[in-house]
Amino acid sequence: MSEADIRAERVKKLHVLQDAGMEAYPAQSRRDTSIAELVEDFDKFEKGATGITIAGRIMARRGQGGIIFADVYDGTHSTSSGQAGRAQVVVQADSVATIQIFNDAVDIGDFVEFTGKAFKTKRGEKSLKVSEWRMLAKSLLPIPDEWYGLKDEEKKLRERYLDILLNEDVRSMFVRRSKFWQSAREFYLSQGFLEIETPILESTPGGADARPFVTHHHALDIDVYLRISLELWHKRMLVAGFPKVFEIGRVFRNEGQSREHLQDFTFLESYEAYSDIEKGKEFVKALYRHIAKETYGKYTFDIHGHTVDLAEDWQTVDFRTAIQEKFGIDPISCTEDEAIQAVRDAQITLGEALNKPRAVDHLWKNVRKTIAGPAFLVGTPAYLTPLAKRTQGEPEIVERIQVLIGGSEVGNGYGELNDPLDQRARFEDQEKLRAEGDEEAQRLDLDYVRAMEYGMPPAFGFGVSERLFAFLENKPAHEAQLFPLLRPRQ
């Protein structure tokens, strides 16, 4: 039968329920026991004098006529076994007056409520002998067979709820995703950080090299942007006198999509006054190890063909040295033409208008993919990082660390620039790049510069996105999101 035919048949079954005086979508459920509780305390319920009421989705049914067996799932999990909350119910003609309606109207996928007594079948299977049942939500579309599941990769993402329902591995991944962010939040709170919320709509996007999404604010009659970073708001909080702040929130970047990049994603950003990148290294190592231990119970991961052990010593990689060794040019002193020629000689795919910063960034990313990590990248040129403090004695490089894991950058930290004159000059340099066609160059944010002119303490800032979670799962970024954006169905 086609899906349309199945739907039409199920709509007819709504009338079967209606003719029997039974609601298909009642407003309330009488459930008093989860399936996980039934499984955990089965002996207690079996010996109990009174019945219990469970509820859930019918995942399988067997039998017809005088006796029907059905597997019911309610999404709860046993705390001792970790198994999904599933139970067998037995509907028999000698104990349920409405068994014929059950036969005629109940399908796999329906949400049904069952009242009865716990008992073991002759085969010893823990079950519920039903004395009464009630429809809670009649399904009109069939869920895929559990054994075969969803095979179409696009359908898995487009109808992710079915993939989660039928695939315990996918379900478990999203439980881990929750633990991932929970463990990060717990770590920051334990270190005395204040959790804050900052605007998503901005009049001037900043804090990262990215093309923003733009929309129109009708009440103010101005164009506004979805934030590409949390940074500039957080550093205003340092000006305001808060020494430690962090935020876990959504950011949006209107740029390319790949295994590692999405256009909207969850981001964690934090700032600590009076800290620096050397203290920051120890902080970041402790953060990553805490997340790994609390989420996965381990420190070693296979990521993109690399084996990464977060518990081992983290190496240090120097940006300038790495580029010189691989391509024979000095990324600090080379000319724009030399940088662009090095990209061409290396046959690196060019994705945008090239200038020296973009060319050198291409070269670095080519080197980066060979580094398993965990490692910290240091020595980044100042022209690539308009928001980081210059290194004392070496003004051509900045106080920046990047976390390298599995051949990519998975975390970024700055010794924050707090010189308002230098900040304005670097913003103006970025504006020149924008005028030359670099849409990802940063904008001159005069409001932020003004805030800095009131005085901002030295600080260490750090940011890491959900890319870290995808890497630890060894999954493409879109597969590690609950509902990644897809083109509408044609």
Instruction: Report how far residue 187's alpha carbon sits from residue 291's, in angstroms, rounded to the nearest whole number.
Output: 8
The mean pLDDT value of the chain amounts to 90
Q: What is the DSSP string of 110-121?
A: -EEEEEEEEEE-
pLDDT exceeding 70 applies to what percent of the chain?
A: 97
401-414 pLDDT per residue, tens: 999 999 999 999 99
State yes or no: pLDDT of 81 exceeds 60. no
The C-alpha atoms of residue 370 and residue 344 are separated, in whole angstroms, by 19
In the prediction, which pLDDT does 204 show?
85
Q: What is the pLDDT of residues 424-473, one digit of tens each?
A: 988 888 888 878 777 777 788 888 889 999 999 999 999 999 999 999 99
Q: What is the pLDDT of residues 266-280, one digit of tens each?
A: 999 999 999 999 999
| DSSP three-state, residue 203 | coil
What pLDDT is attached to residue 5? Answer: 93
pLDDT 10s digits, 117-162 = 999 998 889 999 999 999 999 999 998 875 555 667 778 888 888 9
- Each domain of the chain, given as residue ranges in start order, spans 3-143, 166-314+373-480
Is the pLDDT at 321 greater than 90? The verdict is yes
**pLDDT classification of 101: cutoffs 50, 70, 90:** very high
The pLDDT score that the predictor gives to residue 146 is 59
Of 57-61, 68-72, 427-431, 437-441, minimum mean pLDDT range = 437-441
| Mean pLDDT computed over 186-212 | 91
pLDDT band at 68 (very low <50, low <70, confident <90, very high): very high
Task: Give percent above pLDDT 90 in the chain.
Answer: 65
**pLDDT of amino acid 178:** 97
Q: Which fold has domain 3-143?
A: OB fold (Dihydrolipoamide Acetyltransferase, E2P) (2.40.50)
Terminal-residue alpha carbon distance, the chain: 23
Q: pLDDT digit string (tens) for 329-361?
A: 999 999 988 988 888 888 887 655 578 888 888
Q: Is 429 exposed, middle or buried (0-12, 13-18, 19+ CB in 10 A)?
A: middle
For residue 429, give the amino acid letter. D
Confidence of residue 487 (pLDDT cuts 50, 70, 90): confident
Confidence at residue 349, expressed as pLDDT on a 0 to 100 scale = 73
Is the pLDDT at 108 greater than 80? The verdict is yes
Domain 166-314+373-480 belongs in CATH node 3.30.930.10: yes
Number of Cβ within 10 Å of residue 305's Cβ equals: 10
Q: Calculate Rg over the CA atoms of the chain.
A: 29
How would residue 80 be classed by pLDDT, with cut points 50, 70 and 90? low
Q: Give 479's DSSP letter.
A: G
- Measure the CA–CA gap between 290 and 37, rounded to whole angstroms: 31
Give pLDDT, residue 64. 75
Residue 273 pLDDT: 97
pLDDT at 84: 66
pLDDT digits (tens, 9 = 90+) for 387-399: 788 999 999 999 9
DSSP single-letter state for residue 90: E
In sequence order, which ranges of 348-478 are alpha helices (DSSP H)? Answer: 356-368, 420-435, 446-453, 467-473
CA–CA separation, 206 vs 315, rounded Å?
31
Q: Residue 257 — very low, low, confident or very high, per pLDDT cuts 50/70/90?
A: confident
* Tokens of residue 329, six digits: 């040019």
Q: Which helix (H) or strand (E) holds 76?
A: strand 67-77
